[in-house]
């Protein structure tokens, strides 16, 4: 039989890539704590209707990229393509606006999009995101952006920059939509087929089109903000400057999702090319109400953890996963004692590994060398008789490499701890 393989567009992630992802997640959690965000875990599967209503039925995500299917109860359900709809649903479902706590959430989880597989893009990928609900003020927009930039800085990524824009409120947008629609109709012959079919329903989407978006955003009429929206945007910019955040205004930044109002932003890296943001987000003041909740302003973003991992993998050095000690059993009579030593080390906080105590000494030594451990502890007939254990240095400074000495078993923990402290200092 042919061996099983991953589905097209899916992948296994192995160490060291998994270590880099864990590093990013842990760094993010440290920053979330500084900014007082609480973790929320939402289901991977929701009613398809949730995404249609929130992400938007004319978005690429919902129209082309959703993993939707009918379950045994004939309900149409979908794997989540992004986190915000689920968090918004949870907020409404559990009436979190009445909890008295701040409504600042972070999530870390896998998302699914049935995109055409291409280099560096997968159908299952990780998002790290935040949602700040209940604060209409520009300080909330600014906080989420400042947090994002602090997180990225802490991960050690280089050459990234923030772009921001304001899409205005419903009022500014209605006016603009009419103006834009007229322009698009007059220029319909220059639009791609996709855009021609949907401009009536959502003319803004054309600006975000991968085919005609970039030329349209230069030539088409620009959105004019109403006074309130303009003040809000000015305040966001002022607060970002106070926080010493570098950003650019990008008037053609529209974001591909329906729920955004006012501030939208993206963080890009020159290393990823123009289409690829590391993180993106914005304000979505109308979403919670449109999902049956109370009128609740909100702002948030999501970061592509896999993309960030790709960017930092060459410029960070993570602590190695190698065990400190490799335990070797030199003959069958020492099997039990060797196994006890192994457990004892681990119970005392020392990382230790072994291969197979029944294999030859040579073979176990080979595994010890490959393991990256600092020292090997060897138990054999003679050691057993003396109630001692042999220590072999595996990666000591050249002249001492291979040096072997015996230590009594009752001093083993103390001695190995001392040795590891010294050795780790030498090798760092
Ligand atoms: Zn407005
Ligand atoms: Zn188009």
Are both 241 and 290 inside the same structural domain?
Answer: yes
What is the Å distance from ligand 2's center to 74 Cα? 34
Do residues 180 and 208 touch, judged by C-beta distance below 8 A? no
Dihedral class, residue 387 (left if φ above 0, else alpha if ψ from -120 to 50, else beta): left
What is the Å distance from ligand 2's center to 207 Cα? 8
- Residue 76 counted as domain residue: yes
The bridge status of strand 124-133 relative to strand 76-79 is unpaired
Domain end, chosen from 288, 312, 336, is at 312
What is the Å distance from ligand 1's center to 172 Cα? 4
Q: How many CB atoms neighbour CB 203 within 10 A?
A: 21
Are both 351 and 284 inside the same structural domain?
Answer: no
Are both 381 and 234 inside the same structural domain?
Answer: no
What is the Å distance from ligand 1's center to 283 Cα? 13
- Residue 281 counted as domain residue: yes
The number of the ligand nearest the C-alpha atom of 207 reads: 2
- Residue 202 counted as domain residue: no
Are both 64 and 159 inside the same structural domain?
Answer: yes
Residue 371 has, within 13 A of its CA and on its CB side, a CA count of: 24
- pTM score of the predicted model: 0.89
CATH number, residue 268:
3.30.930.10
Which sign, positive or negative, has the C-alpha torsion 376, 377, 383, 384? negative
Which is nearest to 250 in space by CA: 287, 273, 217, 279? Answer: 217
What is the Å distance from ligand 1's center to 161 Cα? 26
What is the Å distance from ligand 2's center to 206 Cα? 5
Dihedral class, residue 159 (left if φ above 0, else alpha if ψ from -120 to 50, else beta): left
The number of the ligand nearest the C-alpha atom of 216 reads: 2
Do residues 237 and 164 touch, judged by C-beta distance below 8 A? yes
What is the Å distance from ligand 1's center to 262 Cα? 8
Which is nearest to 149 in space by CA: 247, 238, 82? Answer: 247
Q: How far is CA 184 from CA 190, 192, 219, 335, in A?
A: 9, 11, 11, 79
What is the Å distance from ligand 1's center to 162 Cα? 23
Domain count, the chain: 2
What is the Å distance from ligand 2's center to 95 Cα? 39
Are both 405 and 302 inside the same structural domain?
Answer: no
Are both 285 and 364 inside the same structural domain?
Answer: no
Are both 308 and 329 inside the same structural domain?
Answer: no
Q: How far is CA 26 from CA 155, 190, 257, 402, in A?
A: 10, 47, 28, 37
Q: What 3-state DSSP class applies to 263?
A: strand
For residue 402, the model assigns a pLDDT of: 61
What is the Å distance from ligand 2's center to 208 Cα? 8
What is the C-alpha to C-alpha distance for residues 336 and 156, in angstroms, rounded to an integer? 46
What is the Å distance from ligand 1's center to 160 Cα? 30
* Interior angle at CA 148, CA 37 and CA 40, nearest 5: 30
Residue partners of 408: CB distance under 8 A and separation at least 6: 386, 387, 388
Are both 404 and 347 inside the same structural domain?
Answer: yes
What is the Å distance from ligand 1's center to 409 Cα? 76
For residue 50, the model assigns a pLDDT of: 96
Provide DSSP, 10-73: -----TTHHHHHHHHHHHHHHHHHHTT-EE----SEEEHHHHHHHT-TTSHHHHHS--EEE-TT
CATH number, residue 379:
3.40.50.800
Are both 415 and 388 inside the same structural domain?
Answer: yes
- Residue 207 counted as domain residue: no
Are both 31 and 116 inside the same structural domain?
Answer: yes
What is the C-alpha to C-alpha distance for residues 324 and 416, in angstroms, rounded to an integer? 10
Do residues 210 and 162 touch, judged by C-beta distance below 8 A? no
What is the Å distance from ligand 2's center to 134 Cα? 35
Using CA atoms in the order 52, 53, 55, 57, what is the torsion angle rounded to 10 degrees? 50
The number of the ligand nearest the C-alpha atom of 196 reads: 2
The number of the ligand nearest the C-alpha atom of 256 reads: 2
The number of the ligand nearest the C-alpha atom of 206 reads: 2
Residue partners of 417: CB distance under 8 A and separation at least 6: 350
What is the Å distance from ligand 1's center to 224 Cα? 8
Q: What 3-state DSSP class applies to 378?
A: strand
The number of the ligand nearest the C-alpha atom of 225 reads: 1
Are both 83 and 144 inside the same structural domain?
Answer: yes
What is the Å distance from ligand 2's center to 254 Cα? 14
What is the Å distance from ligand 2's center to 48 Cα? 25
What is the Å distance from ligand 1's center to 232 Cα? 9
Are both 268 and 363 inside the same structural domain?
Answer: no
Residues flanking ion ligand 1, Cβ below 5 Å: 168-169, 171-172, 226, 229
Report the DSSP beta bridge partners of residue 302. Answer: 129, 280
| Cα 18–chain centre separation | 11
Tokens representing 420 are 């590891």
- Residue 303 counted as domain residue: yes
- Residue 264 counted as domain residue: yes
Which is nearest to 50 in space by CA: 83, 26, 86? Answer: 86
The number of the ligand nearest the C-alpha atom of 214 reads: 2
Which is nearest to 257 in space by CA: 129, 362, 160, 348? Answer: 129
- Residue 181 counted as domain residue: no
What is the Å distance from ligand 1's center to 178 Cα? 15
| Cα 238–chain centre separation | 29
For residue 274, the model assigns a pLDDT of: 61
What is the Å distance from ligand 1's center to 282 Cα? 15
Provide DSSP, 199-228: TTT-GGGGGG-TTTHHHHHHHSPPP---HH
Do residues 143 and 35 touch, judged by C-beta distance below 8 A? yes
Q: Which domain holds residue 254?
A: 17-168+225-312
What is the Å distance from ligand 2's center to 56 Cα? 17
Domain end, chosen from 268, 284, 312, is at 312
For residue 340, the model assigns a pLDDT of: 96
Domain end, chosen from 262, 290, 312, is at 312
Q: pLDDT tens track of the chain, all 428 residues?
A: 999 999 999 999 999 999 999 999 999 999 999 999 999 999 999 999 999 999 888 788 888 899 999 999 999 999 999 999 999 999 999 999 988 888 999 999 999 999 877 776 799 999 999 999 999 999 999 999 999 999 999 999 998 999 999 999 988 988 888 998 999 899 888 888 888 888 888 888 788 787 877 788 788 888 899 999 999 999 999 999 999 999 999 988 876 667 889 999 999 998 877 667 999 999 999 999 999 999 999 999 999 999 999 999 988 888 888 999 999 999 999 999 999 999 999 999 999 999 999 999 999 999 999 999 999 999 999 999 999 999 999 876 555 556 678 999 999 999 999 988 887 766 55
What is the Å distance from ligand 1's center to 397 Cα? 68
What is the Å distance from ligand 2's center to 83 Cα? 26
What is the Å distance from ligand 2's center to 401 Cα? 65
- Residue 121 counted as domain residue: yes
């Amino acid at each position: 039989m042919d061996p099983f393989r991953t589905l097209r567009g899916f992948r296994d992630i192995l160490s060291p890539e998994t270590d880099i992802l864990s590093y990013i997640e842990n760094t993010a959690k440290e920053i979330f704590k500084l900014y007082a965000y609480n973790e929320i875990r939402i289901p991977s599967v929701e009613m398809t209707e949730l995404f249609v209503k929130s992400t938007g039925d004319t978005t690429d995500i919902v129209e082309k990229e959703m993993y939707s299917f009918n379950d045994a109860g004939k309900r149409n359900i979908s794997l989540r393509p992004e986190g915000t709809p689920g968090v918004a649903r949870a907020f409404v479902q559990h009436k979190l606006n009445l909890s008295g706590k701040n409504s600042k959430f972070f999530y870390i989880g896998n998302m699914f999009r049935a995109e055409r597989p291409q280099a560096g893009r997968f159908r299952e990928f990780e998002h790290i995101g935040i949602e700040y609900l209940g604060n209409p003020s520009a300080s909330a927009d600014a906080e989420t952006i400042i947090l994002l930039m602090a997180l990225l800085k802490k991960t050690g990524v280089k050459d990234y920059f923030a772009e921001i824009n304001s899409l205005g409120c419903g009022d500014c947008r209605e006016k603009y939509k009419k103006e834009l629609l007229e322009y698009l109709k007059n220029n319909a012959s220059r639009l791609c087929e996709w855009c021609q079919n949907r401009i009536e329903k959502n003319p803004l989407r054309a600006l975000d089109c991968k085919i005609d978006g970039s030329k349209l955003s230069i030539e088409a009429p620009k959105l004019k903000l109403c006074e309130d929206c303009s003040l809000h945007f000015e305040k966001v910019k002022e607060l970002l400057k106070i926080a010493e955040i570098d950003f650019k205004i990008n008037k053609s930044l529209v974001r591909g999702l329906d729920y955004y109002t006012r501030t939208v932003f993206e963080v890009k890296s020159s290393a990823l090319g123009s289409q690829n943001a590391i993180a993106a987000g914005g304000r979505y003041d109308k979403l919670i109400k449109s999902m049956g909740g109370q009128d609740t302003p909100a702002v948030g973003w999501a970061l592509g953890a896999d993309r960030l991992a790709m960017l930092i993998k060459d410029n960070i050095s993570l602590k190695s996963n190698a065990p400190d000690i490799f335990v070797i059993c030199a003959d069958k009579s020492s099997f039990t004692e060797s196994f006890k030593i192994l457990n004892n080390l681990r119970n005392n906080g020392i990382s230790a590994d072994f291969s197979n105590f029944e294999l030859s000494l040579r073979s176990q030594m080979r595994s010890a060398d490959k393991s990256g451990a600092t020292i090997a502890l060897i138990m054999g007939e003679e050691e057993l008789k003396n109630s001692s254990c042999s220590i072999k240095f595996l990666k000591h400074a050249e002249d001492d490499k291979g040096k072997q000495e015996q230590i009594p078993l009752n001093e083993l923990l103390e001695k190995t701890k001392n040795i590891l402290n010294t050795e780790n200092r030498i090798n760092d």
